[in-house]
């Protein structure tokens, strides 16, 4: 059953319910991603598909926009809309992509930024966004042609962090690192073989943390653009972590160091 939620402008034909992006919007699914998207005033939402129970729980936490079309559906219908393997928890939201952010507006005046060098797995990027939100990073910077769109799997892995931490897409990563330097950022590349430890730089700031793809690591130009390469000081016999886990550990160390510096000043 389709219904208009507290409509102020009368009935409107829902947009096409498919998995395409662009003018027809993208699909965001799962309780926390949908909740965060609806609560974000920068996100334009069009159609919500929800089971009766999931809708009831959602309405306890957020006021649904008056121009949002709501369609009650069973889990199987929502699953068919999203495709196999989508853990939707009875909620799927069709919405426009968030407006693009530029490097200056997203990073200037902040003390911690994450830069991803050809990290392409949407689950890893989503998890990194979640850690970035948890430790107060102002943005996650990615190279546009080597990064996935902020759709389904990525937004689900981010658990709402897509709405809190902007993904800044740049054409040339090395130039973006140079621009961050002009804003006052200390560029620190994470490298398992680096002689310096993150403990040695944790109280420097502002910091742009640069992480490379698993296996390949940082590319040459990205490494050369860094002010310093540093490693996580492992003690348990493991030489490396998954990139999203490494990001969480590094962000915790850097945030702790920045807080110590602030408390001393």
Tell me the DSSP string of 213-234.
BTTTBS-HHHHHH-SEEEE---
Query: What is the separation, in whole angstroms, between the first and last Cα of the chain?
Result: 60
Q: Which of 50, 77, 47 is nearest to 61 (CA)?
A: 50
Q: Give the 3-state secondary structure of residue 49.
A: strand
CATH assignment at residue 221: 3.40.1280.10
For residue 237, what pLDDT is reported?
63
> For the whole model, what pTM was predicted?
0.85
Q: Could you tell me the CA-to-CA distances from 239 to 193, 210, 218 in Å, in that order?
A: 9, 18, 16
CATH assignment at residue 15: 3.30.1330
Same domain, 16 and 110: no
Cα 18 to chain centroid distance, Å, stands at 23
Among residues 61, 95, 129, the one where a domain terminates is 95
What's the mean per-residue pLDDT of the chain? 86
As for how many domains the chain has, the answer is 2
Same domain, 231 and 255: yes
Please tell me what DSSP assigns to residue 21: -
**Helices of type H across 40-91:** 52-61, 75-82
- Of 45-54, 83-92, 152-161, 237-246, which has the strongest mean pLDDT? 45-54
Q: Give the 3-state secondary structure of residue 261.
A: helix
Cβ atoms within 10 Å of 59's Cβ, excluding its own = 13
Domain that holds residue 215: 103-264
For residue 150, what pLDDT is reported?
84
Segment 220-239 shows an average pLDDT of 85
Same domain, 24 and 135: no
Among residues 48, 78, 95, the one where a domain terminates is 95
For residue 241, what pLDDT is reported?
84
Confirm if 209 and 177 have CB atoms less than 8 A apart.
Answer: no
Segment 29-52 shows an average pLDDT of 96
Cβ atoms within 10 Å of 12's Cβ, excluding its own = 13
Return d(Cα 43, Cα 96) in angstroms, integer.
Answer: 7
pLDDT, tens digit, for every residue of 3-25? Answer: 444 433 333 333 333 334 334 57
């Amino acid at each position: 059953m389709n219904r208009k939620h507290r409509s102020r402008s009368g009935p409107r034909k829902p947009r096409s319910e498919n998995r395409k992006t662009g003018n027809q919007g993208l699909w965001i699914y799962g309780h926390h991603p949908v909740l965060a998207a609806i609560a974000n005033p920068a996100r334009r939402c069009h159609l919500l598909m929800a089971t009766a129970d999931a809708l009831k729980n959602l309405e306890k936490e957020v006021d649904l926009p008056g121009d949002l079309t709501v369609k009650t559906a069973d889990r199987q219908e929502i699953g068919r809309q999203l495709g196999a393997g989508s853990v939707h928890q009875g909620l799927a939201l069709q919405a426009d992509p968030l407006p693009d952010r530029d490097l200056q507006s997203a990073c200037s005046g902040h003390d911690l930024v994450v830069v991803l060098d050809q990290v392409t797995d949407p689950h890893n990027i989503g998890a990194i966004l979640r850690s970035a939100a948890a430790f107060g990073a102002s943005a996650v910077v990615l190279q546009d042609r080597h990064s996935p769109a902020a759709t389904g799997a990525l937004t689900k892995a981010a658990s709402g962090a897509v709405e809190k931490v902007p993904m800044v897409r740049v054409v040339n990563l090395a130039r973006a690192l140079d621009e961050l330097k002009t804003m006052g950022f200390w560029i620190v590349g994470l490298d398992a073989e680096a002689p310096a430890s993150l403990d040695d730089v944790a109280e420097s700031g502002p910091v742009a943390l640069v992480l490379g793809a698993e296996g390949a690591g940082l590319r040459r130009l990205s490494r050369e653009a860094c002010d310093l390469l540093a490693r996580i000081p492992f003690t348990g016999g493991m030489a490396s972590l998954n990139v999203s886990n490494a990001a969480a550990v590094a962000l915790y160390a850097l945030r702790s160091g920045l807080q110590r510096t602030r408390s001393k000043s």
